[in-house]
């Protein structure tokens, strides 16, 4: 700035006191020196502004990296129990951090190159660039540690998911087994019809008696299971008969059923206590008389 003032003063003195060619040449030379000083000063100020802007951008990026790292740490605090949405957010945070780190490295490299090529090498700025490089190196190390932590956490999540899957498979197998057992327990078999039809189908046979008198019908020794209709005993409440008379060949506790009549006709068999009714036999044979 002092050079600018001196040059300006010299120009003024020469312009007022001298008129020869030598004086004009000196005035022109001083004007040129003044313009060069002004241009150099402007270029230096512009470079400093660019350096400061770049520093601020890099500092902002590093601040965002730190915030994202803290966000990941909070979200991984629950361990492998974190849900899928949290895992997706963590992946987004990591991608964002990687982008910021790459941008910062590019900016620092460009800034370092400007400083090396600058006519006015400023040691303060060079120290700031060195400090930024140290911060970037530290963030790189932190990211490596964070990635290792996430890999371990993903392993825990995979192990937990496998455990859950195994439990689900086991639970499904247990449920299927229970359902099969329940279905089997609820199976009942019924056969309804006249004596001759039931006998011919190998459902019942007559025993005892003399000369056709006093015979008693019982389940056939070689029982034909295909002659029976399978039912769910928890759902079966009534069995239509529509016969003149009806008799239970199989034994079922008294009080657990009723034979409904309609105008001297056995209309239906009503099971009033299913648990008690089927407690003695899962087979029901009703012999009707037309």
Give the residue numbers spanning the domain of 192: 186-289
Q: Which residues, other chains included, contact 1 with Cβ-Cβ below 8 Å and sequence gap of 6+?
A: 41
Asked if 164 and 69 sit in the same domain, the reply is yes
Q: What is the pLDDT of residue 92?
A: 75
Asked if 172 and 249 sit in the same domain, the reply is no
Asked if 129 and 199 sit in the same domain, the reply is no
Domain edge (last residue) among 158, 180, 202 = 180
Both structure tokens of 270: 């009503």
156-162: list long-range contacts, CB under 8 Å, 24+ apart: 156/79, 156/80, 157/80, 157/82, 157/87, 159/80, 160/80, 160/81
Domain edge (last residue) among 180, 196, 214 = 180
Asked if 59 and 169 sit in the same domain, the reply is yes
Domain edge (last residue) among 120, 146, 180 = 180
Q: What is the pLDDT of residue 47?
A: 58
Asked if 58 and 142 sit in the same domain, the reply is yes
Asked if 256 and 148 sit in the same domain, the reply is no
Asked if 216 and 75 sit in the same domain, the reply is no
Among residues 257, 250, 254, which one has the least CA distance to residue 274? 257
Asked if 34 and 165 sit in the same domain, the reply is yes
Asked if 122 and 137 sit in the same domain, the reply is yes
Dist CA 47 CA 51 (whole Å) = 6
Q: What is the pLDDT of residue 131?
A: 78
Tens-of-pLDDT digits for all 290 residues of the chain? 444 444 454 445 445 554 567 666 766 666 666 655 555 554 555 556 666 776 677 777 777 777 777 777 776 655 555 555 666 777 777 777 778 778 878 877 777 777 776 655 556 667 777 777 788 788 788 777 777 777 777 777 677 778 778 888 888 888 888 888 888 899 999 999 999 999 999 999 988 755 556 578 899 999 999 999 999 999 999 999 988 899 999 999 999 999 888 777 888 999 999 999 999 999 999 999 88
Domain harbouring 104, CATH code: 1.20.58
Dist CA 218 CA 230 (whole Å) = 20
Does pTM surpass 0.75?
A: no
Total count of domains within the chain:
2
Task: Please answer whether residues 282 and 189 qualify as being in contact, where contact means their C-beta atoms are separated by less than 8 angstroms.
Answer: yes
SS3 state of residue 257: strand
Asked if 67 and 83 sit in the same domain, the reply is yes
Asked if 274 and 207 sit in the same domain, the reply is yes
Asked if 7 and 151 sit in the same domain, the reply is yes
């Amino acid at each position: 700035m002092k050079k600018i003032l001196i040059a300006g003063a010299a120009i003024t003195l020469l312009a007022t006191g001298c008129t020869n060619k030598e004086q004009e040449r000196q005035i022109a030379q001083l004007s040129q020196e003044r313009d060069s000083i002004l241009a150099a000063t402007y270029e230096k100020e512009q470079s400093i502004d660019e350096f400061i802007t770049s520093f601020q951008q890099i500092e902002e990026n590093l601040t965002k990296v730190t915030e994202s790292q803290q966000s990941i740490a909070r979200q991984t605090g629950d361990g492998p129990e974190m849900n899928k949405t949290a895992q997706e957010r963590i992946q987004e945070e990591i991608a964002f951090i990687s982008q910021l780190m790459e941008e910062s490295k590019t900016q620092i490299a460009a800034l370092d190159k400007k400083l090396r090529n600058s006519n006015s090498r400023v040691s303060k700025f060079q120290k700031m660039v060195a400090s930024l490089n140290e911060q970037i190196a530290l963030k790189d190390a932190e990211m490596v540690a964070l990635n290792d932590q996430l890999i371990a956490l993903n392993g825990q999540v995979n192990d937990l998911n496998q455990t859950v899957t195994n439990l689900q498979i086991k639970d499904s197998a247990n449920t299927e087994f229970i359902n099969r057992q329940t279905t089997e327990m609820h199976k009942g078999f019924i056969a309804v019809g006249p004596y001759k039809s039931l006998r011919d189908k190998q459902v019942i046979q007559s025993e005892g008696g003399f000369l056709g008198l006093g015979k008693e019908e019982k389940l056939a020794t070689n029982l034909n299971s295909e002659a029976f209709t399978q039912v769910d005993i928890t759902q079966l409440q009534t069995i239509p008969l529509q016969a003149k008379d009806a008799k239970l060949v199989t034994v079922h506790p008294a009080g657990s059923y009723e034979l409904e009549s309609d105008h001297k006709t056995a209309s239906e068999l009503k099971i009033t206590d299913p648990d008690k009714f089927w407690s003695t036999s899962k087979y029901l044979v009703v012999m009707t008389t037309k």
